[in-house]
Structure 1
Amino acid sequence: MRTIRVPAAVCGLLALLLGLPFAGGTTPGAVDGAVAGAVAHLSPGVVRALVLPTEPSVVLALGLLGVYLCLRAGRRLEAGLALAAPVLAILLTGWVLKPLYDRWKNGTLVYPSGHTVSLVAVLTVLVLVTRRVVVAVLSAVALLAAAAGLVGMGYHYLTDVVGGTLFAVSVVLFSWPARRPAPAPSTG
């Protein structure tokens, strides 16, 4: 049980600490500015394509895929959590963390990134459900693309995306049941 809870706690703590230097502000950090400069050369069409994984229809489809895979495997508890954990992460982000950190960009609260929280929460569920390296790699690629798109579109700073990633992983891991070993056959 500790194996899943330790990374959850570390991610949650890092998400909370990362936002502190930027709380109540509107200015980017040095890394935020460097990353924004690095993606500034991307064309508007490319940036829109990169942000596609964060679109609600894509996130919903990925979330429903997680629920379906759980139900197909007969794991009803995990199917419910595949739906509930991302919703919890999204609600906590919008109702608690964004107002708490009070970081603004373009007239919108941005820390942690709600776009990122929704995407990463469902991707984390898919990684936990499938336990496949290819799913983890594809999830990482989708996150990197989305990060470049979100920064390139001017929706978020990189720290917002990193904070959203850490927070989403934390919520899903804390919500997810720890795998228990299969009972050993009786010897008596």
Structure 2
Amino acid sequence: MSGRAPYGLVAATCAVIMVVLGVLVSGEGLSTPDELAVKWVDHAFGRDTGLLGLLVLPTEAYVLIPVAALAAVLCLAGGRRLEAALTVVGPLVAILANAWLLKPLFGRWKNTYLAYPSGHTVALVAVLTVLVLLARPGIATAVISIVGAVVLCSVTIGMIGLGYHYLTDVVGGTLFAIATVCATWALFSWAARRREPVPSTG
């Protein structure tokens, strides 16, 4: 995984869009895209809580923690210590910053809880972003990206159908998770390059 790719630019772009969206939807109530999404999910899936519950399963801690732990172990076994650190630090920073900072900052309420950005989404997408960054460029990256996109779409349907979140909550959570993981990797890569010995000119 190259530390010289424009991860910082990706992080900054996603963060800016997330903030703008958060300002637009802060407070309580549905935006037009949220309302359309709710109507579509209700029409297509009804109130099948069993199916909708299965769709949100990938966001649960007992699913995500083993996946991240396995990725960290494989990285350590391959001598990729920075990547192993990313599997832990990236998602953890994203989850904590979202819960303690962003949700209170934007103050978007759904029922009795703060909803923007979606914490379920932040946890899922942070781990998926780590897996994409860890994968070797080529087919592996493409497969993980496609599978991740399908999982995210399924989770989105489930959370909207169960009334957990609005569509814009999911979009904001996705943007913030990508921004945090990419920023973490950019920082790790910069720190690693700073520690590299300077070639002798003598």
Equivalent in the alignment of 2:170: 161
Partners in 2 of 1:139 and 1:61 — Cα distance?
16
> Are 1:129 and 2:131 matched, yes or no?
no
List, as ranges, runs of 4+ consecutive aligned residues in structure 1 with deviation greater than 2 Å: 177-180
Superposed, which structure 2 residues align to 1:14-163 within 5 Å? Answer: 14-23=17-26, 25-41=27-43, 42=45, 43-131=48-136, 132=140, 133-163=142-172
Return the TM-score normalized by structure 1: 0.90
Residues 156-178 of structure 1: per-residue CA shift (max 9 Å, x gap): 00000000000000000000145
Return the TM-score normalized by structure 2: 0.84
Conserved in 2, the CA contact under 8 Å of 1:67 and 1:83? yes
Partners in 1 of 2:129 and 2:70 — Cα distance?
12
Partners in 1 of 2:5 and 2:53 — Cα distance?
40
Residues 81-135 of structure 1: per-residue CA shift (max 9 Å, x gap): 2101100000000000000000000101000000000000011001111132111
Partners in 2 of 1:47 and 1:85 — Cα distance?
28
Q: CA deviation at 1:2?
A: 5.6
Letter aligned with residue 166 of structure 1: L
Conserved in 2, the CA contact under 8 Å of 1:62 and 1:123? no
Letter aligned with residue 134 of structure 1: V
Partners in 1 of 2:146 and 2:178 — Cα distance?
15
Partners in 2 of 1:2 and 1:137 — Cα distance?
21
Partners in 2 of 1:106 and 1:62 — Cα distance?
31
Count of residue correspondences: 179
